[in-house]
Every structure is written in C-alpha cells, then in structure tokens.
Chains A and B, each alone.
Chain A
Amino acid sequence: MAFPLPRGITPPEIAFLAEMEMVTIIPRQRLEGLELLGGPVEPLRPPRRASLPLWLALLLKRQRRANILPPPWLHPEPLSFILDVETQHPDYKSAFSPPPLLPGQSHPNARGQTPAARPRYTPDGQRYFAAPPFLPQNTAQTDASEVEPPSLPYHWLEVGNMLLDAASDDLVEPDQIRILLKDLREARNAKLRAGIDALDAASTGGGGVALTGVGAMELGEGRGFMVGVVDNLRKIGASKEQARREQMAEEMANRGYDNTQDDDDDMEF
C-alpha cells in the first residue's frame, strides 16, 4: 500500500494548506531576511509590520518573538455582519455569503471597469492566476479606503481556529469571536446539508453544482459524502444518460448538425 489516504485532501492536509496563508505580525525582535523554499521572508525590524506565512508567524508567536495582527475579518463586528448575511439576507437563504474577490474579478453589482489582473507566468510559460492560500486575504489592511463589505476567506475556519488557539491574546474579544465562528459554522453547515438535494445536477454530463463561497474545511468535511452521492447518482442514472445521448445522436443524424444544448443544470446551492 503506497498511500493509505482517500482521494481528495483530508482535514489535516487542509490545515497544512491553511498554514501557508500570509498574516501580518508585529515583531518583537530583529531577524534578518531568510530565503525559504516557500519564498523569501522579509527582514523583521520592530516595530515595523511584516507579512509572514501563518506557520512561521505561529512559530514566532509561541516563542514570544512576535504578536499577530488579526486579519480584518476576524473581529466581532465583521463576523456578526457576515452572520447576519448568512442567516437574514434573502439572497443568501440557500447560498453561502460571497467570498473575497479574486484579483481582477469584478464585483457582481459593480458598474464600470475593474482593473484587469496582471497575468503572471509560470517559468514554463503558462498563465498563472493566484488563488488562496496565496492571496493576501488574511493580512491586516494598510489603506483605510476599504469599501468592500467583510467576507470570509477560503481558509476562514482553520485560520480562525489556529489564531484562537495560539494567539487569543492578540485578538479582540476572543470569546465573542469563538461564539460567532461556531454560529457561522452551524449556519453554513445547515446550508451544505440542505443543498445535498441539488447534487443530482453534478452527476449528469456537462452539469455542475455551484458551491461558491464554501470554505476549505467545510469542503473537506463534506467531500467524502458529496462525492459519494454524486458518483452513486451517476451510476444509477448511467443507463438513462446513455439512452438520452443515443437518442440525441439519432436526432442529430436526422436533422444535421444543429447545436444541441444540454439542458442547463445551473442550480444555485
């Protein structure tokens, strides 16, 4: 047995990924810049703020060499705002609250042009779009011109829990935050469970189910069950799908190549 773990990353591996998120710290002692395999680390000069990966920030925090500035969303006010959106807002009765925008992604309600994201290239010449955990979604904001409403980043549950464990003295009202995180988790879990019905759409060819706004750990916890449901539904419906496609092939042969569209299973969840 070369590898005992199931397909899809497991919760410990998700926590490992979440430790790559960048956070802002206030160092208490000097440290010269380091060249790590995960990228360069800027030199630490108290009391200048610095951005470090979470694992390194936690390592310094445990040795009392730095304080962690909590991410902008990990405060009681933004969290209760998001909780209100999750539970009260009519648009998000069965969907998750919107996640932070990716660079270059235009806001759904925005008018006018958003600046296009500068494409980066991999050394092999492919286009590269950064995504969590490699976006500064958990660093403290420097500019006060923050117009976007607060939103939960992809690794919210893991980052929140790790900071509550290791750096609760750096957070504002940690007990309140703990309660809000628990409420959010329950509200969102209920949505995920209620959405199981819609999974049928992902089991047909060309179909899919939107889970936009889902958190990494929520996906990791539900992955085994959801993939199992989708794959079993697909196997049950396999002969039906084949019959439908064969009928479609016949129709196409009869009236030439009309563009046949698969019935859209664009179901919000």
Chain B
Amino acid sequence: MDIDDILASVDRHDDSPASAALDHQLLTRFWVAERAVSEVLPWPTLLMERMMERVSQQISRIEDLASSSSPTTNLHLSILQTDLARTQYLIRSLLRQRLSKLTKHSMYYLLKIAGANPVDSQPSQHHHNQQQPQDSVPDFPAGILGSNTSPLSNQEASFLHAHQKLLAGHFGASFLSGFPAQLRRLDDNAGGTSMVTGPDGREAVFVRCLADEVVVRVPPGDGIDVEEIGVSMRKGEVWAVRWEGVREAWEGGELELL
C-alpha cells in the first residue's frame, strides 16, 4: 500500500459528483454480472442505498425544474429525464433478474438464508400424520436479516418466504394432500436424491481479467479435498471459464463478468 492508496481510502466517504460517477459504474458492472451468472449474487446493500437516495433526489430536482418551466429548461429537463430513465432501467432490470432467479430456486435460497447447507441438509423428520408441504418452508430467520451471510436483501428474503408459503399451500391443496404424509415435503431427499435444486456453478461465463494475474481454481470435490489451480489469466485478457473457478476473484474485484 503506497501513499495513493492511503489518500484514496481517506477521502472515499464523500458525496461528490465523482462518487456518483463511480457508483454508476459499479451499478452497471453489477447489473452485467447479475445478468451473466446463474446464482443470485450478494446484495450490495450500501451501493443500492446510495443509488436509491440519489434517484429520489434527482426526481425531486426534476419536479422543481418542471414547475419553473421556461424555454431554456426544456433541454435540461429532457437530458435529466433520459438519464433518470436509464438509471431506473438498470435498477429495474437488476431486480427483476434477481426475482426470477429467486423464484426458480426458491427452496435452495430459503434453506441458504436459514443457515443450512441447501443441498445436503437433512429434513427434520416429523412423523405425524398432519405433515403439510408448508412445514418444509424454513421459519423466517429474524436474527439473520442484515447479516453478511445472506445474499438477499431483506425485502427479497421476506418476498421469497411469502412466495414459498403460498406455493407450498397451493401444492398441498391441489395435489400433495393426496399423497402419504411422509411424501409431502418439498425438501424431501428420500432415496439419496435431494428435491432441492440449486443454481449450477459450473456454467461457463465470460470474464475480463482486471488485476495483474488471476488463476482459475477448481474447488475441492470428488474426493479431492484441496483446491487445484488451473490456467492463469493476465490483465486485459478475456476468457471463457467456469463460474465456480473465478467466483472468489470476482468477489475481490479482480475481474469483471461480460
């Protein structure tokens, strides 16, 4: 760390126009990343708070300008509104993409925010005859909200919970009630096959390396309990690689998804 790093880290809590530009770049990059991978990425709470704050400020500025209508403000107004619409499009597309991923693998994410390992978790076996599909929806973990382990925002977590309760109720009412009680759970893993499916981390993604060098990793699995090292990418290069091999480097900001 040299003097530039220290200076940069001191004045990074400003609300200058330059930080607006930086936040815009971060939001754009996050949107591209969220669109590129199959799993829900960790919610950037602070960034989104700043963006929403700026959007509401900008809306009130546009309203002020519109009320004092004079011919010269017309161009201003149209530029400001175009800019606002572009930012709102980014945010809307980002949120809709996340909702679509969440509803696709709802049980996986519910188990994940409840703190369980989604794929291997053993469903708690209650052998009473009143077993309902709703019972498999984990309780809403109030204490976990706001913690760093959940990739979801609080609103997304509560949406997902309500969504899954409704879905389980609907399944129960329409066909699962006709099944034997022990077959009614949505996280059933009888016979060694878990009914909870998660996103596939092995899908290929396109990345651009931004740090000087990033290596592709092979996470432990299939009997190998250490991490293997694969090919290495240098700054400025574009590669097609497995998402699980570069997730860590992405979290560190060493590469961007394309």
Contacts and interface: CB of A to CB of B under 8 A. Distances in A.
Interface in A1-23: 1-3, 5, 7-9, 13, 16-17, 20
A110 to B, nearest CB: 13
Nearest to A1: B100
Contacts of A194: none
B228 interface: yes
A242 B222 contact: yes
A39 B25 CA distance: 9
A183 interface: no
Given A128-B22, A234-B202, A214 B238 contact: yes
Contacts of A101: 236
A12 B103 CA distance: 25
Nearest to A246: B223
B238 A129 contact: no
Contacts of B28: 17, 20, 133-134
Interface stretch (B3-11, B131-139, B176-184, B187-195): B3-11
Given A39-B21, A203-B204, A208 B230 contact: yes
Interface in B1-24: 4-5, 8-9, 12-13, 17-24
A180 to B, nearest CB: 23
A210 B25 CA distance: 25
13 contacts: A8-B35, A31-B76, A36-B80, A121-B9, A134-B28, A205-B230, A208-B230, A209-B241, A213-B238, A230-B204, A242-B222, A245-B224, A246-B223
Interface residues of A, number: 82
Given A122-B12, A206-B228, 6 more contacts: A7-B38, A8-B206, A123-B50, A133-B28, A257-B226, A266-B231
Q: Which of A36, A199, A261 has the most CB of B within 10 A?
A: A36
A245 B4 CA distance: 45
A223 B36 CA distance: 10
Nearest to A119: B5
Nearest to A101: B236
A146 interface: no
A174 B186 CA distance: 61
Contacts of A223: 206
B82 A55 contact: yes
B237 interface: yes
B235 A205 contact: no
Contacts of B35: 5, 7-9, 13
Contacts of B83: 36-38, 56
A46 interface: no
Contacts of B4: 118-119
A129 B18 contact: no
Interface of A: 1-3, 5, 7-9, 13, 16-17, 20, 31, 34-41, 55-56, 59, 63, 65, 99, 101-102, 104-105, 118-131, 133-134, 199, 202-203, 205-214, 216, 219, 223, 226-227, 230-231, 234, 241-242, 245-246, 248-250, 252, 257, 260-262, 264-266
A35 B24 CA distance: 12
A250 B224 CA distance: 9
Interface residues of B, number: 82
Contacts of A249: 222-225
A101 B234 CA distance: 12
Given A38-B83, A121-B8, A262 B76 contact: no
B237 A210 contact: yes
Given A37-B84, A119-B5, A206-B245, A128 B223 contact: no
B228 to A, nearest CB: 5
B238 A231 contact: no
Contacts of B226: 252, 257
Contact of B24 (A2, A37, A206, A252): A37
B253 A126 contact: yes
B216 interface: yes
Interface string B219-254: 001111110111101011111111001000000110
Given A3-B100, A131-B256, A265-B231, A105 B32 contact: no
Contact of B236 (A105, A203, A216, A241): A105
Contacts of B80: 34, 36
Q: Which of B221, B222, B226 has the most CB of A within 10 A?
A: B222
A123 B13 contact: yes
Contacts of A199: 240
B204 A202 contact: yes
A47 B94 CA distance: 40
Contacts of A38: 20-21, 24, 83, 86-87
